[in-house]
Amino acid sequence: MLTFFSKYKFFAIVLFVLSAVIVTAIYFIMKPKESLKIFQPADVAAELVDSTLQYVKRYHTIADFSLTNQNGETVTQDDYKDKIYVADFFFTTCQTICPIMTDHMVQIQEKLKNDNQVLLLSHTVTPEIDSVAQLKKYALEKGVNDAKWNLVTGDKKEIYDLARKSYLAAKDVPYQENDLVHTENFVLVDKKKRIRGFYDGTDPEAIESLLHDIKVLEQEN
C-alpha cells in the first residue's frame, strides 16, 4: 500500500493543486461583483433634501456649478468631468466638526495623492466670510494640494442650492434668513455625477469605508 501511494504521490499533489485552482476559480466566478448604491433624494432623510426633490427616485445628478477656489480660479463641473470625487461643506471659522472633517480630508488627499481618478471639493457655507484670501490661508495651514483639492466660495444661494438640491448634505433652518446647517457628511460622487455614498467625516472608520468604496467605483468604471 505504501508503495502504491509513493508511486502516485506526484500525481496526487498535482490533482490536489488543480482541484484548489478550480475551486478558487469557481468561487470568484460565482462571487457577486461588489457594487455601490446609486442614491436618490427619496433615499435620504427629508430634512436634508429640498422639498421640491424629496420624492425623486431616479436620475438624480449633481447640478452644474461655477464657483471660485482658493487661488481665485473659476471651478466648474468641467474640472471634475470623468472624475470620482469627494465633496463636503464647511467653513473656515468653524470650531466644532469642521477641523476634524478637514483633517480627515487631508488624510484622504494623502492616501490618494497618486490616484489621478479622484479629486476633492469643499464648499464654504459662509462665503461672506470665506473670501479667496481666507480660503488660501486655510489651505496653506492645512496642507491642501491645489492640484487635488479645491476649497470653493461664491454665490451663497448657489452653494446652498448645491448643498440641499444636489449633494443632499445640509439641513434647512427655516426661521433664520439665508442660513443653513451643514452636516458632517462626505459625499462620494461618481464619474456620471451620481451620489454613490455618504460618510461621517468625523469618523475614522467611515473614512476607511470611503477609501474602500472609491476603489470599488474605480473597478466599476
Kind and range of the H or E run holding 57? none
- Share of the chain residues as helix, strand and coil, in percent rounded to the nearest 5: 40, 20, 40
Q: Is 212 annotated as a binding residue?
A: no
Buried residues in 188-198 as b, exposed as e (16+ CB within 10 A): bbbbebbbbbb
How does strand 66-68 pair with strand 170-172? unpaired
CB 152 within 8 A of CB 172: no
CB 48 within 8 A of CB 171: yes
Q: Is 94 annotated as a binding residue?
A: yes
CB 60 within 8 A of CB 167: no
65 class by beta-carbon count within 10 Å (0-12 exposed, 13-18 middle, 19+ buried): buried
Q: Is 123 annotated as a binding residue?
A: no
Binding-site members for Cu cation are: 94, 98, 182
Binding-site members are: 94, 98, 182
